[in-house]
């Protein structure tokens, strides 16, 4: 293996902060190339490359296929793509003040609210 490629692989322990980074990380863990993965997901490898590089926004259907292929939580994958699951949107719409207060109380330390 080329040493530059080996060093460019993501650390398995790092949490990916974007869907593209997560896809790349999962591909490296499985040892699957983008040209092999893309047809299995029903997309062109150039499109999948654009998704990995944050140049294209994937559809919910592609995120679903990725989640199933890599055995990942679909909601987490959706959030990595900056897509909020529909049931969460409904909760936020029906109970905006309560939901936001609960999130802030649960996840913002020292009462610092934005």
Q: Which tokens hold the place of 93? A: 């719409």
Q: Specify the pTM.
A: 0.73
pLDDT digits (tens, 9 = 90+) for 30-83: 999 999 999 999 999 999 999 999 999 999 999 999 999 999 999 999 999 999
Token pair listed for 7: 């060093």
Query: Would you say residue 7 has pLDDT above 50?
Result: no
Task: Note the helical H segments in the chain.
Answer: 3-8, 19-30, 34-41, 45-52, 60-70, 74-80, 86-94, 96-107
The values of phi and psi at residue 44, to 5°, are: -80, 145
Domains of the chain plus CATH, in order, are 3-82 (1.10.260.40), 84-114 (no CATH)
Confidence band, pLDDT 50/70/90 cuts, at residue 14? very low
Residue with tokens 């909020």: 84
Residue 9 gets the label, from left (phi > 0), alpha (psi -120 to 50) or beta, of beta
Q: Look at residue 17 in the predicted model and tell me its pLDDT.
A: 87
Residue 25 has, within 13 A of its CA and on its CB side, a CA count of: 15
Band (pLDDT 50/70/90 cuts) for residue 11 is: very low
């Amino acid at each position: 293996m080329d040493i530059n490629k080996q060093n460019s692989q993501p650390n398995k322990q790092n949490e990916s902060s974007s869907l593209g980074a997560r896809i790349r990380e999962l591909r490296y863990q499985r040892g699957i190339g983008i040209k092999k993965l893309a047809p299995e997901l029903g997309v062109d490898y150039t499109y999948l490359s654009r998704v990995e590089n944050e140049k294209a926004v994937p559809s919910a259907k592609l995120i679903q296929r990725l989640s199933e292929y890599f055995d990942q939580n679909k909601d987490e994958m959706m959030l990595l793509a900056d897509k909020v699951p529909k049931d969460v949107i409904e909760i936020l719409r029906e109970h905006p003040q309560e939901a936001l207060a609960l999130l802030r109380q649960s996840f913002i330390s020292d009462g610092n609210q934005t």
